[in-house]
Structure 1
Amino acid sequence: MNEITSTWLNFLQQQQLPSTPAPFDASQSFVAPLTDLGLIALTGEDAASFLHTQLTNDVQGLSVEQARLAGYCSPKGRLLATFLMWKTGDTILLQLPRNLQATLQKRLQMFVMRAKAKLADVSDGQVILGLAGNAVAATLAPWFPALPTKPYAKIDNSHGTLIRLADAESAPRYQWITSPDIAIAAWPQLTQNLPATDARRWRLTEILAGVPQITTLTQEQFVPQMINFEVIGGVNFKKGCYPGQEIVARSQYLGKLKRRAVLARVAAMDVAAATEVFSSADPGQPCGMIVNAEADSASHSVCLVEIKLAALEDGGSFHLGAADGPQLTVGTLPYVITDVTASEQPA
């Protein structure tokens, strides 16, 4: 940890952020320091072409006005990581959980070979703030008079980078990536209108938005389609090869997909990713797995659950951890799941 990071973390300790989980209410805006996220920066004239051969999404067509989701797969097509990526100037940035960063950066570095591309950990020089709710636009006006108007649009200025993300329960969400000095100076004004909370509430909004995040517990568990990753724009089927591409494409075009992700709520706390889910209709074997989960009250958690479509059709009840475990109540995703064909890929 360098001096810059220490300054920001010491500042946050003095703010005494809430330590208890709280439900997300779309009418209540908030700001959260996302200290659990890290950033890998790629520079060099071959940075885009190199990443294009490694990730599930189009990197060469990435403009400075947008961000994109992207996955990094094993040769077997299983996700090792999911990223939010964007381009600022000549630098491409990959955002992922900080506890995955060192391993993933080292793995990517192995394949650079003769490409003119350099990878660097820039997490310690940047602050990532998550902001959600209808009060965000007016609150950010001193730094960003105009905000990105649609999900995954991006604005850069002297105050940093602002990215709009997928809405959660119709509430807009943004990430502000800036320097510790700017974040510390802005904090008192931000928190006048936006109650400060910790990263757990932000992760809850990610789940409510139906956006999965691969963690250390779920690496190599899912082909992208199992967690709806192509539905939310994380896979481009027109681009060239990348690790696992053949398997990902085969899953898309050969036969009906058999597993998807759904939203669910359960009367349990501290629900861990990778916990198995069982159906009362077939209690002898798991039918799914927790992708992400966060508490939304003192007794309940909201989950993104990867599950067999056949189990959803069987009409049984779903249970956490065992056939007699806490029952999950399946909810409604904020998007419609469709099978994306190559001709339907967004530009």
Structure 2
Amino acid sequence: MMTTNQYTPLTSHGLIKISGRDAKKLLQGQLTCQLDDIAEDQFNFAAHCNPQGRVISFFYLLQINNDYYLHLACDMIETAMKALKKYAVFYQTSIANVSDTMKSVGLTIKDEKILSNYFTHYPMQKKSALVNEQIYLAKISNEQYLMLGEEKIIAKKTKKFATDFIESSLAQWHAEEISMKIPRIYPETSEVFLPHEIGLPELGAVNFSKGCYTGQEIIARMEYRGKLKNHLHLVSLTSTIYPKPNMTIHANNKIIGTIVDVEKKSAQEYLALIILNDEYINYDALYLENNHAISLAVLN
């Protein structure tokens, strides 16, 4: 049976668990989002920034029971934990990498009614979530869902998907996130970007009415006083070399943009999120580092 519903075991991602009496207090003073908006039935995107307002890590922030979970790429877990532990010493809380025992799966659903074959209940609104049969299920967009839980439970559930789903690749899931302008932070881009530069306010990941948090003064200044000349764009990029995150984009012998996130589509075609100076949005003579010519087609 052919189907367009897809599931992707997110083996590239892991989970950090924040628990303890002061878990919420710690995160409220560190993250860009409002912790009061996070509950078992509501998730959000969040960033942890340095005092200069630069994004150290960016992740899905979830709550299960009284514990908080950060869902992010495995290669960023050590960086994210190290940054949070600097402040955790002042609170009654613990920070643990639980990626070995908890797993996640991305779902792409063309008809959400199919979920009723596998769950007695499922979230209906974007950023809503629920725990069903010991599985946490969150709705990211009209078609994308995030499922996570204990490894054995997730494995048992995904085995049942064969009737209505096909297994998809990590590259395909990554491309879907890029299409939704959900960027990833990499070790080489940690502490490089401001939240505004990579579109985090548009994702609802920055709350401007909450109290102080690390980097808040700089981020608020960008919101109320700043005039950004560079903005995040979703583009189709043609290049003879692989455009890696943090590569700079050049024109007229100056830097006019940066690669934020990228996924390969074909031999020389890439789906990418880039920061680009507004003046060069339709400029033809663009090139990457080392004078590699590129062409862009803006998709947003």
Instruction: Tell me which interval the TM-score lies in, with the shorter structure as reference length.
Output: over 0.9
Structure with more strand by fraction: 2
Output the amino acid matched with 2:256.
C
Match of 1:243 among 204, 211, 214: 214
- Tell me if structure 2 keeps the 8 A contact 1:34–1:129: yes
The answer to whether structure 1 residue 36 and structure 2 residue 4 are counterparts is no
Distance 2:113 2:176 in 1: 18
After TM superposition, the score normalised by the length of structure 2 is: 0.92
The answer to whether structure 1 residue 176 and structure 2 residue 147 are counterparts is yes
Residue aligned with 1:267, SS: strand
Match of 1:67 among 25, 28, 43: 43
Look up the match of 1:267: 238
Distance 2:235 2:9 in 1: 26
Per-residue CA distance 1:134-186 (angstroms, 9 max, x = gap): 14541x3243233211211101122310011134xxxx100110222223223
Match of 1:121 among 97, 101, 104: 97
Quote how far apart the aligned CAs of 1:298 are: 4.1
Output the amino acid matched with 1:161.
Y
Look up the match of 1:340: none
Quote how far apart the aligned CAs of 1:77 are: 0.7
Look up the match of 1:330: 298
Go from structure 1 to structure 2 and tell me whether the alpha carbon gap of 1:116 and 1:273 turns closer, same or farther (over 3 Å shift). same
Residue aligned with 2:253, SS: strand
Of 140-149 and 316-325, deviating more is 316-325
Distance 2:287 2:107 in 1: 31
- Tell me if structure 2 keeps the 8 A contact 1:277–1:318: no
Residue aligned with 2:16, SS: strand
Residue aligned with 1:107, SS: helix
Look up the match of 2:284: 317
Per-residue CA distance 1:74-93 (angstroms, 9 max, x = gap): 11111111011011111111
Distance 2:162 2:286 in 1: 39
Go from structure 1 to structure 2 and tell me whether the alpha carbon gap of 1:194 and 1:299 turns closer, same or farther (over 3 Å shift). farther
Quote how far apart the aligned CAs of 1:197 are: 2.0
Residue aligned with 2:274, SS: strand
The answer to whether structure 1 residue 56 and structure 2 residue 32 are counterparts is yes
Match of 2:249 among 268, 271, 277: 277
Go from structure 1 to structure 2 and tell me whether the alpha carbon gap of 1:137 and 1:287 turns closer, same or farther (over 3 Å shift). farther
Q: Gaps spanning 5+ residues in structure 1: where?
A: 1-26, 333-347
Go from structure 1 to structure 2 and tell me whether the alpha carbon gap of 1:192 and 1:296 turns closer, same or farther (over 3 Å shift). farther
Per-residue CA distance 1:238-275 (angstroms, 9 max, x = gap): 11111111110111111422221001112346431112
Per-residue CA distance 1:289-341 (angstroms, 9 max, x = gap): 111110123441100111122333xx422634156512111111xxxxxxxxx
Q: Gaps spanning 5+ residues in structure 2: where?
A: none
Residue aligned with 1:124, SS: coil
Look up the match of 1:219: 190
Per-residue CA distance 1:13-52 (angstroms, 9 max, x = gap): xxxxxxxxxxxxxx93311111111111111111001110
Go from structure 1 to structure 2 and tell me whether the alpha carbon gap of 1:61 and 1:266 turns closer, same or farther (over 3 Å shift). closer
Alignment length (residue pairs): 296
Output the amino acid matched with 2:260.
V
Per-residue CA distance 1:117-147 (angstroms, 9 max, x = gap): 1111111111100011314541x32432332
- Tell me if structure 2 keeps the 8 A contact 1:262–1:305: yes
Q: Which runs of 4+ in 1 moved over 4 A?
A: none
Output the amino acid matched with 1:251.
M
- Tell me if structure 2 keeps the 8 A contact 1:136–1:194: no
Output the amino acid matched with 2:107.
L
Look up the match of 2:118: 143
Go from structure 1 to structure 2 and tell me whether the alpha carbon gap of 1:247 and 1:197 turns closer, same or farther (over 3 Å shift). same
The answer to whether structure 1 residue 257 and structure 2 residue 266 are counterparts is no
- Tell me if structure 1 keeps the 8 A contact 2:19–2:95: yes
